[in-house]
Amino acid sequence: MFDRKTVRIDERISWFSEVRHLLSPMSGVTDRPFRAICRDHGAHMGFCEFTSASGLYFENEQTWKLIDTEGEPGRVGIQIFGQDPAHMAAATRLLLARRMDVLDINFGCPAKKVVKKCGGSALLANVPLLEEIVRAVVEAADGFPVSAKFRTGWDDASLNYEEIGALLQEAGCVWVTLHGRTRNQKYRGHADWDTIARLVDALDIPVIGNGDVVDGDSYRAMTEHTRCHGVMVARGAIGNPWLFQQMDAVDRSEAWVPPSFRAMCEVNRRHVELEVQQRGEKTGCMVVRKHIAKCFKGYPGAAHLRKLLYAEETSAGMIAVLDAAARAGDPRLGADLVRNPEDLAS
């Protein structure tokens, strides 16, 4: 339905022609359970949270734990960051034995601890080093597809996304993802979709647009505005894996039916179970909280439901609260679901 730009899809990623809705890498968020939940709701591809190439190279156990893709169904990408071309190349060689469909390089992270070592978005201000890194990774990948994700520049005075995009294409990246913000902007203000549109025009390879897509309307607006090959979503998917169904409905020109309150409870229940399987009882329960809180935000009684869930220290307790909430009904239909805990316990 969209007038997307016709692009050159590398034969190594012929499967990418139909990949339109991607779950962005998010540190501390896009673990395997969340990727599974998003995939269940129609994400065409998911990414592990970014990992330090040096951490992989020095065999840091915690870093390797983030790469947990063995046997993962569907399309999945691994993302690395770093400032040392030799470590980036070494990490690439190690990762080739892992289950992944693409290896992505992070040139967008604005976090101080990454930038001060000249990794992530700091490389936008050091183009020669960025080039050395992408060439080292592509060479080490030995024919395995490499992509890159980056921002529009370090700051408004040094926008260089077109130069970087052309460089990445020339160095052999199979696609690029542009987050339409500068490093200095971090997550403030709006993503500038004009920059994405310009990059789409300038490159032959697919450009994935990223920034501020939170529902079907914004998905449609970004795709129409930029003609990008696909859209990557990050914050909008937290607590809202239905975002992928919304985008799918837009692609099919169909109306989207929001999930029932019961379905929301059931998905969160499954998320609790998966996180606990993956990370153990304590961490699993902690990690899933932010998703649940975001999911019910804005519902009548949401604050109370959150309080009840946060008071639970075990997955069994959290699941009991969610099951009771599901039984109690849909607050949008007027049920005063969570006015007091006794209602939920019944």
Ligand X SMILES: Cc1cc2nc3c(=O)[nH]c(=O)nc-3n(C[C@H](O)[C@H](O)[C@H](O)COP(=O)(O)O)c2cc1C
Which of the residues are catalytic? 109
Question: Residue 49 Cβ, how far from ligand X at the closest point, in Å?
Answer: 5
Beta-strand pair 45-47/51-52: unpaired
Q: Does 235 bind ligand X (CB under 6 A)?
A: yes
Question: Residue 220 Cβ, how far from ligand X at the closest point, in Å?
Answer: 15
Q: How far apart are CA 214 and CA 236, in angstroms?
A: 5
Per CB under 6 A, the segment of 64-72, 127-135, 227-235, 307-315 that binds ligand X is: 227-235
What does the block give as tokens for 243? 């975002």
Which residues make beta-bridge pairs with 230? 208
Q: Does 216 bind ligand X (CB under 6 A)?
A: no
Beta-strand pair 75-81/45-47: parallel
Q: Does 219 bind ligand X (CB under 6 A)?
A: no
Q: Does 152 bind ligand X (CB under 6 A)?
A: no
Residue appearing with tokens 């894996």: 241
Closer CB to ligand X, residue 188 or residue 334?
188
Q: Does 291 bind ligand X (CB under 6 A)?
A: no
Q: How far apart are CA 328 and CA 340, in angstroms?
A: 12
Q: In degrees, to the nearest 5, what angle opens at C-alpha 230 toward C-alphas 225 and 236?
A: 85
Closer CB to ligand X, residue 30 or residue 265?
30
* Amino acid making up residue 300: P
Per CB under 6 A, the segment of 6-14, 84-92, 164-172, 230-238 that binds ligand X is: 230-238
> Of all helices (H) and strands (E), which one includes residue 81?
strand 75-81
Closer CB to ligand X, residue 69 or residue 210?
210
Please report, as residue ranges, which positions from 33 to 92 form the binding site for ligand X (by CB under 6 A).
49-50, 79
* Amino acid making up residue 197: A
Q: Does 29 bind ligand X (CB under 6 A)?
A: yes
Q: Does 241 bind ligand X (CB under 6 A)?
A: no
Q: How far apart are CA 109 and CA 172, in angstroms?
A: 22
Q: What is the binding site for ligand X (CB under 6 A)?
A: 24-29, 49-50, 79, 106, 108-109, 149, 179, 210-213, 233-236
